[in-house]
Each structure stands twice: as C-alpha cells, then as structure tokens.
Chains A and B, each alone.
Chain A
Amino acid sequence: MDATPAIRVVDLRKSFGTLEVLKGVSFDVDRGSVVSMIGASGSGKSTLLRCINFLETPSGGEVYIDGEPMGFRTDATGQRRLQPLSEINRMRRDLGMVFQQFNLWPHMTVLGNVIEAPMRVRGMNRKRAAALGEECLARVHLSEKAREYPARLSGGQQQRVAIARALAMQPKAMLFDEPTSSLDPELTDEVLAVMRELAGDGTTMIVVTHEMGFARDASDRVLFLHNGLIEEEGPPEQVFGAPRSERCRQFLSKHLQ
C-alpha cells in the first residue's frame, strides 16, 4: 500500500500581524484515519484547519495533499512562491470542509447546495450530479429533505447537509471545524453519528472539536494544541488515559467532568 500520507503538515506557521497563532506545527494524517484536534479556544486549532485548505494563507511551512504541495511551490532559486488561485482551487476540491456555522446557501434547495460545486466546478451534468447528490444525502440520512430550503431544517439537519455538500466533491479528506459547537446538545448527537459512520467507512478526517467523547472513541490519533504548538499527540488511549503534558491533563480534567 502507498504509504504517502493523505495530508502532511510540516512546520506550519501563521501570524496575524504581530500575533503568532501557529508557531510551527507538523503532523501526518494517514489515509483512512481520523485525527481529532483538541485544545482551548485560541490555541490555533481552527486556524490550523483553515491553513490546510488555504482559507488562510500560512506564513510559513508546507502542506501536502497526497504528496502534492498545496499553495506554494519552491522555484529554481529556492524561493517559496504562492501558487495562482486556480491551482489552489484545484487542490481545494480534494478537501471537503465543514464549518461551525454550516454556511448553507439559503437561496438554493438542499439538493441545490449539494450539487452546485460538482456541476460548476467538476463540470458534471445535472443528471449525474443529482444522482450523486441523492447518494450523498442518503449517507447523511436526509434523502427526504432534498427539495427543502435550508431555512426549513433544524441545525443538526443543516450541518448534515453541509457534510453531504462536502462529500459530493468526493474529496480525499474531510476537514471539520467544530461541526457541533453551534448546535443544541440534542442535535449534536445526530451530527456526530454521521461523522462516526464516515469514519467507519474509511474517510480520512481531521476534526477540530470540543466533543471529547468523539475524540476519544472515533479517532485514531488526537492532537492537543496549546499556544500554536502541538503540546501532546498520540492515540486517544494515551492522550486521554495518560497524558504526558501537564497542560493537556489540566485541559482534559476541565472538559471531561
């Protein structure tokens, strides 16, 4: 089996003005594995995720998707050059992103949201895109809502549609940015259930989350971020069972109560 990781992040840095949010983060995500990122607010989790698909342009470091460098190329003189947007867009198609606020487009039906990018970015015809869209909606158990508008759905349903929309691009990996943080507790479970199913199907996933239960049960590896650095990483049994870092221990003791 090809051992190239689905996502490789090398010494990633990001500053906003003088504020250094990411101070050099490196990790690999193997194909078919689930990596959860935990940490306090402001630790850099979301910024890290947004740097992976270049919604934020990293200040330094590299991201590789399936071995291919994302966003930057090093030219003959060894200079790092930002790639044109078209090239970044081509690689973004391979990374499905799910946002905290769902970000469904209110003027399109559920199916319209799901098939928009397959049709207009991948160039699929409507019939094929619709078939694919129905399939993706079935995976998130919302086939019956295909013709509804997002405003008529609950938050949990909206987030599942957002997951279907990302899946419809048939990405190599899915990025989840606190997907349940703006949901009521009773709606969180239906979203987490869908995410567990995806994980079970072998979807490569990076999940930024405050759901410690999900991080512990559903991920292969857990990263604990603190102040823009990975403070602790390992399999969930280790990070949750016997964390080496004192800060991680404190964070977990607060969040596992």
Chain B
Amino acid sequence: MSNWERLVWNQRGVLLQGLAVTVEVCLIAFAVAIVGGLTLCLIRMHVRPLRPVAIVLIEFFRATPIFVQLMWVTYVWPELFGWPNSFFTAGWLALGLQSSGYLAETFRAGIEGIARGHREAGYALGMPPLLVFRRIVMPQTLLTVAPSIVNQFTVIVKSSTLISVITVQDLMFQAMKLVNVWYEPIEILTVTAALYILFVFLVSTAGKLLADRLRRRYGLAAA
C-alpha cells in the first residue's frame, strides 16, 4: 500500500469533512464581509455623525493582522460582549470583519467612480435617492468592483487556515491532525495545498468569467 493510498485516499472522509467546514466558514465570512463592508461604506459616506466610527472600524479591521484579530474576537469579545460563544462563530466573524474593512474601501471607490451625472439623470426624472442608489449606483458599482470582490474571497479562503489554531475543524485542522497521527507530512500537506489551490482557482475563475461577461455585455470593459 503506497503512502498516498494510506495517508490520503483512506483518510479522504476526514479531509473532505475539513474541506466542507472550510467552505462553510468562508461562505459565511464572505457574506459578513459584503454586508459589513457595504454598511461601513455607506455609513462612512452618508451618515455624518457616525462617520468617525466607521473610519476607525475600517482602519482597525484593515490594519490589524488577521491572527491578532482572530484571537481578539475569540478571547476578548466574549469577555466584553458575551459573544461569540463558539470557536466556529468566532472564526467566520473574524475573517468576515477583516474583509469587511477592505470591501468597505472597495465599495467606496466603486461608488465614487460612478459619474455624478448618472445619479442626476435619475433625480431629474423624479427618482428618490434610495431608488437611484438601488437601481443605478449599486448595480454599476458591483460590476466595477466585481474583480476586487472575487479577490477578497480568495483572501478569506487563504486566511481561513488560521482558524485551525482556535480548533475549528477545517481542512487545515484535519490535515494537521493526520500529520500528527502518522508523522508523515509530505503527502497529506501536499494534498491539502492542492485542495486549497483548487478551491481558490475554481472560485476566482468562476468569478472572473462571470464578471468579465457582465462587464463586456454592458460595455464597461474592453471586449
């Protein structure tokens, strides 16, 4: 029996279980990042009294290392706020918050890049600001920043390996568990790396294809 069969194929259930947890954490973190990023961005741009708060949060999320933030959310938040109450939650929360800081700035750049005239054309037709934002500003912003959003998702996937440190049983955690059982890292870690590459590659390729297709269709990028 080769090492590949013994260490990888026969352990595929464990590794795939880990992969499933990784995918789950990343998807939740991504959703948090998008909602959080957009919220922070809109507060920063349009809610004057809360603007300093948004700026501080954005800068804090962007400027602290993900590992520090993970520890902070895992061990400080429960003391301060009584939540999160599981390592799993702390994992996606820390990943999501960090990316929300980056996405807030991405969204802001996108929104500020929309020509003022596009909004004015809406106002001139009697459209209220919220409608203009929803129908004119946001779709164009999403199209423009789509590549950055996809990129941010790949950052989340790669950062997610750190949550194994707080015992969330993701792919990295399961891989290290196997390594520690057999003391044979070559095959297990190589396959783990390959699985991450595959995941990131699939996500970024699918995202890029979709974004390019939409952008070409609307004439926002060179065909």
A interface list, Cβ under 8 A from B? 53, 55, 85-86, 89-93, 95-97, 99, 101, 103-107, 116-117, 120-121, 149-152, 162, 165-166, 169
Q: Could you say which of B84-92, B164-172, B214-222 contacts chain A?
A: B214-222
Q: Does the CB pair A97–B126 fall under 8 Å?
A: no
- With A107-B140, A149-B219, A151-B219 known as contacts, the answer to whether A93 contacts B126 (CB < 8 A) is yes
A151 to B125, CA, bound (A): 21
Chain B residues numbered 170-223 whose CB sits less than 8 Å from any CB in chain A: 217-220
CA distance A165 to B124 in the complex (A): 11
CB pair B123 A117 closer than 8 Å: no
The answer to whether B125 and A55 touch across the interface, beta carbons within 8 angstroms, is no
For residue B212, give the distance in angstroms from its CB to the closest CB of chain A.
Answer: 15
Across the interface, B115 reaches (CB within 8 A) one of A103, A120, A162, namely: A103
Query: Closest CB of chain A to B19's CB: distance in Å?
Result: 36
Q: Find chain B residues with CB under 8 A from A89 CB.
A: 123, 126-128
Chain B residues in 8 Å Cβ range of A55: 120, 123-124
In the bound complex, residues from chain A placing their C-beta under 8 Å from that of B126 are 89-93, 117, 121, 169
| Structural contact, A105 and B129, CB atoms closer than 8 A | no
- B113 part of interface (Cβ distance < 8 Å): no
Q: Is the CB of A97 within 8 A of B124?
A: yes
Which of B45-53, B66-74, B131-139 lines the interface with chain A? B131-139
**Contact, CB under 8 Å: A150 / B129:** no
User: In the complex the two chains form, what is the Cα distance from A149 to B216 in whole Å?
Assistant: 10
Compute how far the CA of A107 lies from the CA of B121 in the bound complex, rounded to whole angstroms: 14
How many Å lie between the Cα of A105 and that of B115 in the bound state? 10
Question: Which B residues lie at the A interface, using CB under 8 A?
Answer: 115, 117-118, 120-129, 131, 135-136, 139-140, 143, 217-220
B208 to chain A, nearest CB (A): 19
Whole-angstrom distance between the alpha carbons of A95 and B218 in the complex?
28
Contact of A99 with B117 at beta-carbon distance under 8 Å, contacts A107-B139, A107-B143, A152-B219 already known: yes
From B116, which residue of chain A is reached at the shortest CB distance?
A103
Which residues in B have their C-beta under 8 angstroms from that of A151? Answer: 218-220
- Among the listed A95, A105, A149, A169, which residue makes an inter-chain contact with B136, where contact means beta carbons less than 8 Å apart? A105
- A148: nearest residue on chain B (CB-CB)? B219
Query: Are the C-beta atoms of A99 and B127 separated by less than 8 Å?
Result: no
Q: Is the CB of B127 within 8 A of A121?
A: yes
**CA distance in complex: A92, B125 (Å):** 6
Add 17 more A-B contacts to A55-B123, A101-B117 (CB < 8 A).
Answer: A53-B124, A92-B123, A92-B125, A93-B126, A103-B117, A104-B121, A105-B118, A105-B121, A106-B218, A117-B122, A120-B131, A120-B135, A121-B125, A121-B127, A152-B219, A162-B121, A169-B125
A89 to B218, CA, bound (A): 29
Collect the chain B residues with CB atoms within 8 Å of residue A97's CB: 121, 124-125
Choose one: B121, B136, B140; the contact of A99 (CB below 8 Å).
Answer: B121
Output the nearest chain A residue to B142 by Cβ-Cβ distance: A107
User: Can you list 9 contacts pairing A with B, beta carbon distance less than 8 Å?
Assistant: A55-B120, A86-B128, A92-B126, A93-B126, A103-B117, A107-B139, A151-B220, A162-B121, A169-B125
Least CB distance, A44 to chain B, in whole angstroms? 18
Residue of B nearest to A104 (CB): B121
Q: Are A120 and B117 in contact (CB under 8 A)?
A: no
The docked-state distance in angstroms from the alpha carbon of A107 to that of B110 is: 14
How near does chain B come to A82, taking the closest CB pair, in angstroms?
Answer: 15
Q: Is the CB of A120 within 8 A of B127?
A: yes
Contact A92 B135 (CB under 8 A): no
Would you give the shortest CB distance from B220 to chain A, in whole angstroms? 6
Specify which chain A residues have a CB less than 8 angstroms from the CB of B123 in the assembled complex. 55, 89, 92
Q: Which residues of B contact A107 (CB under 8 A)?
A: 139-140, 143, 218, 220
List residues of chain A with CB within 8 A of the CB of B217: 149
Query: Residues of A contacting B220 with CB < 8 Å?
Result: 106-107, 151
* B120 neighbours in A (Cβ, 8 Å): 55, 99, 103
Chain B minimum-CB-distance residue to A90: B126
Are A106 and B131 in contact, CB atoms less than 8 angstroms apart? no
Q: In the assembled complex, which residues on chain A have CB atoms less than 8 Å from the CB atom of B122?
A: 117
Closest to B123 in A: A55
